[in-house]
């Protein structure tokens, strides 16, 4: 797996920007304290680290999963950050709502079948479900319960949202390939996302 210098820069920029955006979203008082100068940047470090290790990694590994499968099918694939959308995500965090479209993996080269396109798309939500499972044990570790809750919930929301069969979202590509696979995947991802919102929460 190879990464061009530009791709590395885009990945790091997206990871940092998402961490900042969700730090602002998770703690509004902290956000405005930083802007007003009443809160020192180091006081935001804990929330920033948690955001980058849960939200940031969830988004980026989702995109890298697309790349891994695309390359497996002989495609040339690279992540490109959308800097306008990253700035918008930070602004949205300050305004108190969730919005993040950090960029996408673009792939091309040799021809691919509809099945391969569908599997490339499905790799993202599937990765988020697996990541959520990795955070589950933290729900039983007292000091890390909040990290576990955010890691589980944000990854399952990402999986469920991306399986919506609309526009550039993964669900549309999976549906175009196989309606049965789409139906099963959508029910699992959307059901888990709803469960996490109701019974797990974000911990913040």
**Does the active-site annotation cover 78?**
no
* Residue 142: C-alpha distances to residues 134, 152, 196, 203 (Å): 16, 16, 19, 12
179 half-sphere exposure, CB direction, 13 A CA radius: 0
Q: For residue 81, list its beta bridge partners.
A: 103
What are the C-alpha distances in Å from 157 to residues 6, 44, 69, 181?
Answer: 29, 24, 22, 19
Contact between residue 56 and residue 19 where contact means Cβ atoms under 8 Å apart: yes
Per DSSP (E only), the strands in 83-133 are 103-109
> Catalytic residue among 27, 63, 78, 170, which?
63
As annotated, the active-site residues are 63
């Amino acid at each position: 797996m190879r990464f061009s210098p530009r791709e590395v820069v885009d990945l790091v920029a997206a990871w940092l920007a998402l961490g900042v955006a969700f730090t602002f979203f998770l703690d509004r008082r902290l956000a405005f304290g930083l802007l007003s100068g009443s809160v020192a940047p180091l006081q935001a470090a804990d929330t920033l680290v948690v955001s980058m290790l849960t939200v940031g990694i969830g988004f980026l590994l989702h995109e890298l999963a697309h790349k891994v499968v695309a390359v497996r099918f002989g495609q040339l694939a690279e992540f490109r950050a959308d800097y306008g959308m990253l700035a918008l995500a930070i602004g949205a965090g300050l305004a108190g709502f969730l919005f993040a479209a950090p960029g996408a993996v673009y792939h091309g080269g040799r021809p691919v079948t509809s099945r391969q396109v569908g599997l490339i798309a499905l790799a993202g939500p599937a990765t988020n479900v697996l990541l959520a499972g990795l955070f589950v044990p933290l729900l039983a570790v007292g000091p890390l319960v909040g990290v576990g809750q955010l890691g589980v919930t944000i990854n399952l929301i990402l999986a469920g949202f991306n399986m919506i069969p609309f526009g550039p979202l993964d669900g549309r590509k999976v549906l175009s390939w196989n309606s049965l696979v789409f139906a099963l995947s959508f029910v699992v991802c959307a059901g888990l996302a709803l469960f996490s919102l109701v019974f797990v929460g974000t911990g913040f």
